[in-house]
Structure 1
Amino acid sequence: MASKMIFINLPVSDLDRSKAFYEALGWKVNQDFTDGNAACIVVDDNICLMLLTHDFFTTFSPRPIGDTKATVTAAYAVALGSAAEVDTLTEAALQAGGTEEINTDKRAQEAQVGMHGRTFLDPDGHQWEPFFMDYPGTN
């Protein structure tokens, strides 16, 4: 096991739909940590998502689950190796039922510094921002 790993816990309204969505992005389900309440989605060796049913998620905090489709409380940025990878991941998300959120001002700012990014929402409204930054040492 890696010395440090990140597990992002996300409340989901339909566990099977969410698993299928993330699998369509090319991410894998770790069956060792998956049951009827939760699914472990492996993004890479050090990053996993824990998709948790609403009932199970409420056991982690006394605070209510917010409406992720109406508000944003976090944006999950994922650095990728090329602009093409950003587009491929975003297109896979859209094909799997996600929606794209377009912010033309943000895209113009990113282009000025050599970045290419897009934003998509999963079926529960969780915001993902895959990006590529063309900075020295990446090519």
Structure 2
Amino acid sequence: MSQHIFVNLPVADLSRARSFYAALGFSFDERFSGETSACVVVSEQIHIMLLLREYFATFTPRPMGEPARDTSVLIALSRDSREAVEAFMQAGLKAGGTDNGKVQDFDFMYGRSISDPDGNVLEPMWMDVTAFERTLGDEINSAVDA
């Protein structure tokens, strides 16, 4: 059985949100899109559902947060290189996103942080898994030897 992830995000202006995510290079699955929602295709198994705030509220018994003020989720999106992380950021900024000023720069990983026009946080990141495993292994061995 194929597993899928649908991340639901509240948005105030669906047209603006669609334009932003399209500018980042994502496509849309129109089968799951309409007047109150848009389905962003991240990968074959991962989708972001952009839901108008009123529609989003029908899915939860809890009060809805305000993404521009409160952070409830950080969506990390892997990219193929540091340069691809920067290209993602530039496309997002040009499309109305906000640079959150957060940079993670390690030998094995590079990441940035951008908010979409509604304040939902995306974190494009690149990781050299082999270097990460080597670094983690060195840290574990140092801790054991101490």
TM-score normalised by length of structure 2? 0.84
What is the root-mean-square deviation of aligned Cα atoms in Å? 1.7
- Counterpart residue number, 1:101: 100
Q: Alignment partner for residue 135 of structure 1, among 129, 140, 145?
A: 129
Distance in 1 (alpha carbons) for counterparts of 2:23 and 2:115? 14
How many percent of aligned residue pairs carry the same amino acid? 39
CA distance in 1, matches of 2:89, 2:119: 14
Residues 34-58 of structure 1, C-alpha deviations (whole Å, 9 max, x = no match): 1101111111111111111111111
CA displacement, residues 67-96 of structure 1 (integer Å, 9 cap, x when unaligned):
111121110011111111111111110000
Letter in 1 for 2:85: V
- Matches of 2:32 and 2:129, distance apart in 1: 37
Shift of 1:137: 8.1
Once the two structures are TM-superposed, the CA of residue 4 in structure 1 deviates from its matched residue by 1.0
Give the aligned residue type for 2:91: A
Q: Which amino acid aligns with 2:30?
A: Q
- Mapping of 1:1-139 within 5 angstroms? 3-103=2-102, 107=104, 110-111=105-106, 113-136=107-130
Alpha-carbon offset, residue 135 of structure 1: 2.8
For residues 129 and 2 of structure 2, what CA distance do their matches in structure 1 show? Answer: 27
TM-score by length of 1: 0.88
State the alpha-carbon separation in 2 of the partners of residues 80 and 21 from structure 1.
18
Larger Rg: 2
Q: Distance in 2 between matches of 1:100 and 1:8?
A: 21
The alpha carbon displacement at 1:30 in A equals 1.2
Per-residue CA shift, 1:79-137, capped at 9, x if unaligned?
A: 11111111111111000000101135xx2xx42x4211110000010011111112328
1:36 is paired with a residue whose SS is coil
CA-to-aligned-CA distance 1:2-33 (integer Å, 9 cap, x gap) = 70111101110001110111001010111111
Q: Match of 2:10, SS?
A: strand
Q: How many residues align?
A: 132
